[in-house]
A = this chain, B = another copy of it.
């Protein structure tokens, strides 16, 4: 079988969900296991992981609750986006050396059915971007902003979690569309990056202000037309108080709430939405699968033209996967958090 030899005596390693986290996940919630490297059957390929993705949404799947994606199961591998190299193929669609995008998650090798993989073009951009600006986060930013936010020239767009993979893409697309863009992030380094590297009109460090509402009022003299929300909680309360008539709020994530052990309470937001005729819409990128081709083409065009920058925070070593995931909730990552295996 092709490729078998290239693996030599190496064994597969995978990370399982050992138990459901209570609040903030801890390393003990995960289990490392080793096994023989699996072999592909007909119509399957063996993929060696090059880069794997750790994402905030994975926290939700660790709970046992009905959501847009089913929860992870105990003692099964944590699945998620992976860029890998085909090292053995029993499929006519893939050959050794192909770079592919899959969803087999936190493991060094995996056998995947040919219909579970898509090819990544290594000439278009570094292949890791298939997990970021030219992958799920980039698509999330694009469809959420364009389909729900519907930005118009001259409008003001506020984005929370602005230095994350989704947030920084949202802000840059909004700039391309002629909007005033204000980012909210959690460190001085992030705020400086957003303003100086990505051209945001203003950026606010929510950890270093007495009143985020006051800072926002200064940064948004004409109010807020679109609030792309990755964060939730009291940051959102402040933004919602500044909405304009017919404002739109794509609801992408609520990272401030993911690790709470009880439902969070806060001021009811319906009165704000009511008096402003505002629209709030939760979404997951797959709701807009019919837009992916158009979106990827546009994103790649902007990346290649230098109009859309991306930033990857690449952690080296499979053994650091869990820590890279936990880092998302410590607010450490600037840009897309990726593990290079």
State the A residues within 8 Å of B (CB): 60, 65-68, 229, 232-233, 236, 245-246, 251-254, 257, 263-284, 287
Contact in complex: A281, B273 (CB < 8 Å): yes
Contact in complex: A279, B277 (CB < 8 Å): no
CB A188 to nearest CB in B, in angstroms, measures 27
Contact in complex: B266, A232 (CB < 8 Å): no
Residues of B within 8 A of A257 (CB): 268, 270-271
Contact in complex: A280, B277 (CB < 8 Å): no
- Chain B minimum-CB-distance residue to A288: B277
Given contacts A267-B263, A268-B266, A282-B270, contact A277 B232 (CB under 8 A): no
A276 to B282, CA, bound (A): 7
CB A73 to nearest CB in B, in angstroms, measures 18
Q: Which of B254, B265, B275 contacts A274 (CB 8 A)?
A: B254
List 19 interface pairs A-B (beta carbons < 8 Å), by A numbering: A65-B275, A68-B245, A68-B276, A229-B270, A251-B270, A251-B274, A252-B274, A257-B270, A263-B267, A265-B266, A266-B266, A268-B269, A273-B280, A273-B281, A277-B281, A277-B282, A277-B287, A278-B281, A279-B279
CB A283 to nearest CB in B, in angstroms, measures 5
7 additional contacts (CB under 8 A) given A273-B281, A273-B282: A232-B271, A251-B273, A254-B274, A269-B270, A277-B282, A279-B279, A279-B280
Contact in complex: B66, A275 (CB < 8 Å): yes
A281 to B287, CA, bound (A): 19
Given contacts A68-B277, A245-B68, A282-B276, contact A269 B269 (CB under 8 A): yes
Contact in complex: B265, A267 (CB < 8 Å): yes
